[in-house]
Amino acid sequence: MKKKEDLGKDKLIWMWTQMVRIREFEERVKRTFIEHPGVIRGHTHLGDGAEASIAGALATRDSEDPVVPTYRCHGYPLVLGTPPKNMLAEIYGRKDGLCGGFGGSMHLCDPERHFLSPSGIVGQGIAHAAGAALTAQVKNTGQVVYSFFGEGSTKQGAFYESLNIAAVWKLPIVFILENNEYQVYTRVSAEDANSAAGEPLSTKAEAFSIPGVTVDGTDPLAVYEAVGEAVDRARSGKGPSLIESKFYRLSAHGNSITVPPMTTQFGEHEAIEVYGNGDEYSAAKARDPIPKFRAILIARGFLTDADAQKIETAARTDMDDAVNYALASPLPAPEEATNHIFA
């Protein structure tokens, strides 16, 4: 059983370092729209606010375990060790990208690190993850699949069908529902007719007779413990669990809202201004998981302020280097456009 009390200093600092790296990467993506207009074509979906949830969950993972994310997918491969320069090159549509520039932001993929491609269709990655779990079960690999998805996905048929078959067949999978409180523009609320029914959303697990729990997604240790228990259950053949990780999305739904002139009132993190609730956003920023966990590690004597600054500086340098690499990477040749078309 994975307990947060058993985590050592090195692992805790590793978790915070990954959180910092995710935030810095997302900032570079966001700033690209302002500093290098036209470089990113298509949509991007940022995960700032989700850092503790991502790092806490993946800290429980064995190196061979597959990860299938939502299309808000930048943070996961960073934690798995994917070079940020190749991730940014992919987002920029460049030849040195993970998929040669053909996939873009919503289709990052790194099979070498068992990071499977997300789907741009809401909720469909859940079914893909269930398929990966069936493969692991049939081949008896001992792997557990990590399936990440948003609260809006719980309104999709793929969610119910996948949880049902995973429960019936006791597939080795953990379903991690990342509730960032907004489905594009729609606030998650029982009073909203367009929202996802159920409070908390983890109660949906009861329909499939599997464990369901809701945790504070701004606390990486709480996420670590809940996901760790679910992973142990899945790896021992007892089947899936549903973890609802609750946090607040600190950027707009996609880049169509993050570019000027709407990036004013809250600086680089202006997102919820678009929805008309600045007070709510300011309250969420006060619970920002990165400074919160930083303060905890310093208070416990695991980290000094100087050490934290070194980690932050290293992350900024790493991501600046990634931007320069991606900008220098060539575009695919026009004649390559049909290379991956099979029908």
Which pLDDT does position 260 carry in this prediction? 37
Which pLDDT does position 184 carry in this prediction? 65
Which range is most confident: 57-66, 118-127, 151-160?
57-66
Residue 27's CB is within 10 A of a number of other CB atoms, namely 18
Taking the C-alpha atoms of residue 72 and residue 43, their distance in angstroms, rounded to an integer, is 10
Which pLDDT does position 225 carry in this prediction? 97
Taking the C-alpha atoms of residue 127 and residue 236, their distance in angstroms, rounded to an integer, is 22
Q: Which residue has the higher pLDDT, 19 or 183?
A: 19
Joined together, the tokens standing for residue 93 give 């549509």
pLDDT tens for 28-71 read: 998 898 889 889 987 788 888 899 999 999 999 999 999 999 98
Joined together, the tokens standing for residue 264 give 């004013």
* Bridge partners, residue 173, by sequence: 145
Which pLDDT does position 132 carry in this prediction? 97
pLDDT confidence band for 208 (50 / 70 / 90): very high
pLDDT tens for 181-203 read: 776 666 666 455 455 666 788 99
Which pLDDT does position 255 carry in this prediction? 63
Pairing outcome for strands 182-183 and 186-187:
antiparallel
Taking the C-alpha atoms of residue 64 and residue 22, their distance in angstroms, rounded to an integer, is 22
Those residues with Cβ within 8 angstroms of residue 182's Cβ, 6 or more apart along the chain or in another chain:
188, 249, 253, 272, 275
Q: What is the per-residue DSSP string for 90-150?
A: HHTT-TTSTTTTSS-GGG--BGGGTB----SSTTHHHHHHHHHHHHHHHHT----EEEEEE
pLDDT tens for 227-253 read: 999 999 999 999 999 999 998 887 766
User: Is residue 97 over pLDDT 50?
Assistant: yes
> If you average pLDDT over every residue of the chain, what do you get?
88
